[in-house]
Amino acid sequence: MIVSRALGDPRKEQSTQVSTFWVSSQHNAGARGRRPAVFRMAEWDADLDHIIPSSILPPLWAKLLVGFVSLVCFARSYDGDFVFDDSEAIVNNKDLRAETPLGDLWHHDFWGNQLSSNTSHKSYRPLTVLVFRMNCYLSGGFHPLSFHVVNILLHSGISILLVDVFSVLFGGLQYTSKGRRLNLAPRSSLLAALLFAVHPVHTECVAAVVGCADLLAALFFLLSFLGYCKALRETNKEGTQSTFWVLLSILLGAVAMLCKEQGITVLGLNAVFDILVIGKLNVLELVRKVLHKDRSLENTGVLRTEGLLFRMSLLALGGTGVLYVRWKIMGTGPPTFTEVDNPASFASSMLVRAINYNYYYSLNAWLLLCPWWLCFDWSMGCIPLIKSVGDWRVIALAALWFCLIGLICQALCSEDSHKRRILTLGLGLLIIPFLPASNLFFRVGFVVAERVLYLPSAGYCMLLTFGFGVLSKHTKKKKLIAAFVLGILFINTLRCVIRSGEWRNEEQLFRSALSVCPLNAKVHYNVGKNLADKGNQTAAIRYYREAVRLNPKYVHAMNNLGNILKERNELQEAEELLSLAVQIQPDFAAAWMNLGIVQNSLKRFQAAEQSYRTAIKHRRKYPDCYYNLGRLEIGKSWIIWDTLLTLENYGNSDWKQFILQGLIASGRIHSGKSKPC
């Protein structure tokens, strides 16, 4: 005997025959004469039987398949290097070193900088940094292999967990008399999880070590949602147990936020799920009753659902409290970004900002729909600003809103309650986790970032699966649809394998971006830097010049190009570039020091001394510059230099060190190792 109950309905449970499910009359209000929602859902899920064979439907086999496919997609990145941001977040992050107290992790940002600093990006992710530190400790150092393996396993685990999450979102919460949750949409949940597991837009999160933040946040996001579902199951039992699960869900949401900021958005998804699925709110019906002042308004299901207002209050208070604590920890205001990071946010016209923000949304949607053109960085002129409504790219944002409005209308106005629920939850899972990256609440430090689509892509996969089900139901060419779906899975898997290979080292990663974002100055800069590190100065100069051409204010490219020209004894051009760099950014200490080196080579000692002292003014702890300034001072005092050479010839290193310490103490020279920056 199997017993099922519609959670939130005030009536008692009723038993039925095996495989027959009881649904509240409220859920089917206004639908008399039609089949119950669970039967319609089961029929709809059965329409996918030509795509998902019955042999892989048992839960264990389904999860094994999803886990295996996810491993195949990204296994190629397991032996990759630390690339791009990995160096700053891992290798150069002092918080990962054993001598740094663990308590410092709670006062530093993701990159190891003080949160109170004006230069901090306020990316507060202490739990992710703690995971990095544990990885370093267990693997015995900064070995990229262990970091990559963790990321691959995390993605595989998240993909498996999504099988359960999608089964709830598609099929609702139905339980047997023994308390075992029933999966009423096995084909839909499996197909959506497979689409998620093989989506190429996830490559950055999985193949880049810093993507661990997104993976950990997604893991606790999903655990928080499943924990909240536990609270809904206990609604008709003792209130204490239900409250416990709600509080645990809030705690897991806070943990997700401490891994990455967007993790806290799970509380919004929990609220939407509770109101729409458990409360069975019909927005269109509610609006009609409000407009017609219907007296039956107080009988609306959402108002009669037991404990709903209490759970919403807990979610609101918990979310507000967590955000307040995080804001206090940040210490100062929001992070400071430059125009090259997010040019649209610096536009003076509100219309221009709105148009470009919506264009960015359309680009994110396109990456989900067609993830073939992927790039590690989309800033620095990669996406030129739309400055008027006459720009042809306005068509893209118009198409986006046409599709969104169509989906929203179906989600609100459809007579089919099952269709309304799936579309609303799919849109919620797509939009809610994306809100922190939308520029709506605060300025973000990027234009487009593939990593922020990791969680929203789950909502996209849910909507895509629903679309395949609708097509299967209304067409006789089911084999053609099955071939199309399998083709998408195969092509995406192949794309993941190729893209994972591109993320294995910086040379392949940077070069892969040249065809995607040829207008991105940072792409050319990074290719040039990679070539310079390998000693290919001629090719590096070409890419540095292109970076400066694309962005005439790119001071880092000017600095590096000036360094190479200095080494090639092209001193006049090097001085011009470095002088321009410090004019654009007067506090650029490295450029000031390199300018001093060039001026010293040109025998302009007074100007060189002034450049060195300006560099030290902007960076007090700058041993390279202190050393160069010391050498300049020693050059003026040939007697001191001759004494040091004499001591060197006699091999009396103790006396030489004594004199050097005396010079340091007197302020004549400063210690440090010399190298250009």
What are the backbone dihedrals phi and psi of residue 108, each rounded to the nearest 5 degrees, phi first? Answer: -115, 160
556 pLDDT exceeds 90? yes
Looking at residue 340, what is its pLDDT?
Answer: 77
Radius of gyration of the chain (CA): 30
671 pLDDT exceeds 80? no
pLDDT band at 295 (very low <50, low <70, confident <90, very high): low
Share of the chain above pLDDT 70, in %: 81
Question: Across 58-67, 369-378, 453-462, which has the greatest mean pLDDT?
Answer: 453-462
The pLDDT tens digits for 203-218 are 999 999 999 999 999 9
The pLDDT tens digits for 225-271 are 999 988 877 655 544 567 888 999 999 999 999 999 999 999 999 99
CB 405 within 8 A of CB 145: no
The pLDDT tens digits for 637-649 are 544 545 455 545 5
Question: Across 67-71, 374-378, 567-571, which has the greatest mean pLDDT?
Answer: 67-71
Place of tokens 């609101």: 316
Nearest alpha carbon to residue 447 among 499, 518, 375, 398? 375
Tokens of 128: 């992710």
Looking at residue 153, what is its pLDDT?
Answer: 96
Tokens of 388: 């008027």
Cα distances (angstroms) measured from residue 22 to each of 7, 12, 36, 124, 181: 11, 11, 8, 47, 14
pLDDT band at 10 (very low <50, low <70, confident <90, very high): very low
Question: Using CA atoms, how far apart are residues 194 and 189, in angstroms rounded to an integer?
Answer: 9
Listing DSSP states for 25-72 in one string gives TTTTTT-TTS--HHHHHHHHHHTTTTTS-GGG-SHHHHHHHHHHHHHH
pLDDT band at 658 (very low <50, low <70, confident <90, very high): very low
396 pLDDT exceeds 80? yes
If one counts every other C-beta atom within 10 angstroms of the C-beta of residue 109, the result is 22
Q: For residue 432, give every residue at least 6 positions away whose Cβ sits within 8 Å of its Cβ, in sequence order, or none.
A: 265, 268, 269, 272
One-letter identity of residue 209? V
One-letter identity of residue 506? E
Torsion angle, CA of 355/357/358/361, rounded to 10 degrees? 160
- Residue of higher predicted confidence among 368 and 308: 368
For the chain, the average pLDDT equals 82
Looking at residue 111, what is its pLDDT?
Answer: 87
DSSP secondary structure letter of residue 294: -
604 pLDDT exceeds 90? no
pLDDT band at 37 (very low <50, low <70, confident <90, very high): low
Place of tokens 């010391």: 630
CB 469 within 8 A of CB 48: yes
If one counts every other C-beta atom within 10 angstroms of the C-beta of residue 39, the result is 15
For 676, the 3-state DSSP assignment is: coil
For 504, the 3-state DSSP assignment is: coil
DSSP secondary structure letter of residue 12: P
The pLDDT tens digits for 333-345 are 667 777 777 888 8
Question: Using CA atoms, how far apart are residues 452 and 457, in angstroms rounded to an integer?
Answer: 9
pLDDT band at 121 (very low <50, low <70, confident <90, very high): confident
Task: Tell me, rounded to whole angstroms, the distance of Cα 636 from its chain centroid.
Answer: 54
What average pLDDT does this structure show over 598-609? Answer: 88
